[in-house]
Chain A
Amino acid sequence: MSPLLEAEGVCKSFGGLQALSECSLSVAKGSISGLIGPNGSGKTTLFNVMTGYERCSEGQIRFDGESIARATPERVFGLGIGRTFQITRLFFRLSVLENMLVATQRHEGWLRGVLRGAGSAAERERALELLEFVGLERLAHTPAGNLSYGQRKLLELASLLVADPSVLLLDEPTAGVNPTLINQLTERIRELNRAGKTFLVVEHNMEFVMGLCHQVTVLHQGRTLVTGSPETVRADPAVLDAYLGGGDDDDDF
């Protein structure tokens, strides 16, 4: 099957640090793909490059065959790629519902944005439905800053769904989230995937990745080490080396 989202030979350096070198990744349509690797292996940088937050110095990013290597984050989102952040980012002084409504302007001109109220009845209803989907509907009018860490993660995910993106890039969705919420999150991702959404998930939680993903890519020192099914990746000696101290990095898992 043709890849929906694809990175090819991507290089990115910050000063003398080569964060990504010749890194490649492809995400098949309708799949849940995992992206793993030790800390500092370039996962978040790759996310940033793919979503327009950083420019790659070399290489190509394609979404549905179209190059998006030079696109701004606004445009990337407009095309249907939503992302969450490693350290959850919300609009903390806005209410949970308002957070949900920010993304609804997707297909709208500027003037209409000025003239129309923030969220039509239908959009509010849809936002509330999505909040119910992640179990936050009771908190719709609470300031987002009052949510617990796990709830923030759920809200961040739900606020992307408002715009109905076709691909969701999740950066460490389970970090700092309690096991019950992780199960809930896994269920939601599966459900969305069955409904046709494609996922790319960066994670350190191996149980979560191996249980959820159809395909896993391992990054190591800015390079793609291996790509394959969870079983192949788990058994690959190079991966074990990268994680368990075959090199000079000090990662524990």
Chain B
Amino acid sequence: MTARIPVRALGVVIALAILGLFPLIFSNPTDTTIAVFTLIFMVSASAWNMFSGNSGYIALGHAVYYGCGAYALTLLANHLGFAAGWGVFALVPVAGIVAGLVAIPTGLIALRARRHTFVVITIAFMFIFQLAASNLGFTGGTSGLQPPTPLWSVTTYNDNFYWVTAIVLVFTVALAWAVRRSRFGLQLLAIRDDEERARGLGVRVGRVKLSAFVLSAIPIGMAGAIYAYFLGQIFPQFAFDPLFDLSIALMAFMGGLGTVAGPLLGALVLESLQQYFTIQSGASQVYLIIYGALFLAVVLLLPRGIIPSVEELIRNRRARSAGGAGSGPPEPEDRGAGVVKPAGVA
């Protein structure tokens, strides 16, 4: 117990140092592009976990808020006549608020249902929004929209996006940490374990669930906004992408559902590998097979995720500190066929 806090503090300092030093060491635009995408997914997985990981309600429709953030930034920048450059970044928090506002009615409806039905409703919302974006006039339909493109050099472009995303990430992780240690977070965990009993102990479950839902949509909306501005174009099938939902859920599951560090670790590993392989092989859909296999492996071998499993391992080691016969960590094997979902048109 006593040794734990300095270890944690040390971990945070090291993580922040890596975050700050990365673009200084790896200034190659290929690396920083991977880094920006990875940070976007770290934000998203962490925010998703804030609601789903803590409450046990597995939402598979948070792409709604990602897409709303992406469209909000693009539409606002275009219609309010924002010049390309730093000014557009001011719309990132606004996009987060728009996503949060969209999360209120959608969350209210989805959270009327429990567990499995809830999952189905969130997926339905995702497709409704995708279809709406494809068919409404103001979203540009299937040809999508283009936010203003800043005229920075490639290196500056990536660096600027890196720093902005890093700030959003720090904000998100701080929020996730605050939620986790707050009374509100304890209520969410109580709901995860036994919602009926939580009600019987005076937890206003409806209010708690909805506010966590909205709170988790805000950083995801900000991530979507950065994504749109970074890519310079958005299409309905990528802004509201079912694979986005599966990815962030897998990241959180793999790292450790309901922990602060887990989703960050999951996103760091999966997104950077995916981007790396995409750039290396050019085959952008290969990762889907790996994701499928990995999902199976995680669910079967590490159902609680990496962080809780490693923590337990360390605890067990400490408990029998003398024993040298500790078995190694269970290594996930990539066996079993992954289910490949048809992706949007690439």
Query: What CA separation (Å) do A112 and B199 show in the bound complex?
Result: 19
- Whether B201 pairs with A163 at a CB distance below 8 angstroms is yes
Q: Is B116 an interface residue (CB 8 A)?
A: no
Contacting residue for A116 out of B182, B199, B201, CB 8 A? B182
- Whether B201 pairs with A103 at a CB distance below 8 angstroms is yes
Knowing A92-B193, A110-B207 are in contact, say whether A118-B186 is a contact too (CB < 8 A): yes
Contacting residue for A113 out of B182, B189, B194, B201, CB 8 A? B182
- Whether A74 pairs with B202 at a CB distance below 8 angstroms is yes
Chain B binder among A37-45, A94-102, A130-138, A210-218: A94-102
Chain B binder among A83-91, A190-198, A200-208, A228-236: A83-91
- State how many angstroms separate the Cβ of A125 from the closest Cβ of chain B: 16
Q: Is B297 an interface residue (CB 8 A)?
A: no
Query: What CA separation (Å) do A98 and B183 show in the bound complex?
Result: 10
- Which residues does chain B contribute within 8 Å of A91, judged by CB atoms? 189-190, 193-194, 197-198
How many A-B contacts are there with CB distance less than 8 Å? 98
Query: What CA separation (Å) do A132 and B157 show in the bound complex?
Result: 61
Knowing A78-B202, A89-B196, A102-B198 are in contact, say whether A94-B183 is a contact too (CB < 8 A): no
Query: What CA separation (Å) do A163 and B201 show in the bound complex?
Result: 8
- Whether B183 pairs with A73 at a CB distance below 8 angstroms is no
- Whether B183 pairs with A116 at a CB distance below 8 angstroms is yes
Q: Is A159 an interface residue (CB 8 A)?
A: yes
Q: Is B184 an interface residue (CB 8 A)?
A: yes
Size range of the chain A interface in the assembly: 35 or more
- State how many angstroms separate the Cβ of B120 from the closest Cβ of chain A: 25
Contacting residue for A74 out of B178, B179, B204, CB 8 A? B204
Q: Please, which residue of chain B has its CB at the minimum distance from the CB of A156?
A: B197
Interfacial residues of chain A within 30-64, with CB under 8 A of chain B in the complex: 51, 53
Chain A, 145-171, contact with B by CB distance < 8 Å: what is the 0/1 string?
Answer: 000000000000001100100000000
- State how many angstroms separate the Cβ of B49 from the closest Cβ of chain A: 16
Q: Tell me if B's interface is mostly helix, strand, loop or mixed.
A: helix
Size range of the chain B interface in the assembly: 20 to 34
- Whether A72 pairs with B199 at a CB distance below 8 angstroms is yes
Contacting residue for A105 out of B187, B193, B211, CB 8 A? B187
Interfacial residues of chain B within 174-231, with CB under 8 A of chain A in the complex: 178-179, 181-187, 189-190, 192-194, 196-205, 207-208, 211
- Whether B183 pairs with A113 at a CB distance below 8 angstroms is yes
- Whether B187 pairs with A115 at a CB distance below 8 angstroms is no
Query: What CA separation (Å) do A94 and B56 show in the bound complex?
Result: 14
- From A53, A74, A159, A163, residue with most partner B Cβ within 10 Å: A74
Query: What CA separation (Å) do A74 and B205 show in the bound complex?
Result: 8
- Whether B200 pairs with A93 at a CB distance below 8 angstroms is no
- Which residues does chain B contribute within 8 Å of A85, judged by CB atoms? 197, 200
- Which residues does chain B contribute within 8 Å of A102, judged by CB atoms? 186-187, 190, 198, 201, 203
Knowing A77-B202, A78-B202, A91-B189 are in contact, say whether A105-B183 is a contact too (CB < 8 A): yes
Chain A interfacial positions (CB closer than 8 Å to B): 51, 53, 72-74, 77-78, 82-83, 85, 89-94, 98, 101-106, 108, 110, 112-119, 159-160, 163
Could you name 7 residue pairs across A and B whose Cβ atoms are closer than 8 Å? A53-B196, A72-B199, A74-B199, A77-B200, A112-B183, A116-B182, A163-B201
Chain B interfacial positions (CB closer than 8 Å to A): 178-179, 181-187, 189-190, 192-194, 196-205, 207-208, 211
Top 4 nearest A-B pairs (CB, nearest first) are A91-B193, A77-B202, A118-B186, A73-B199
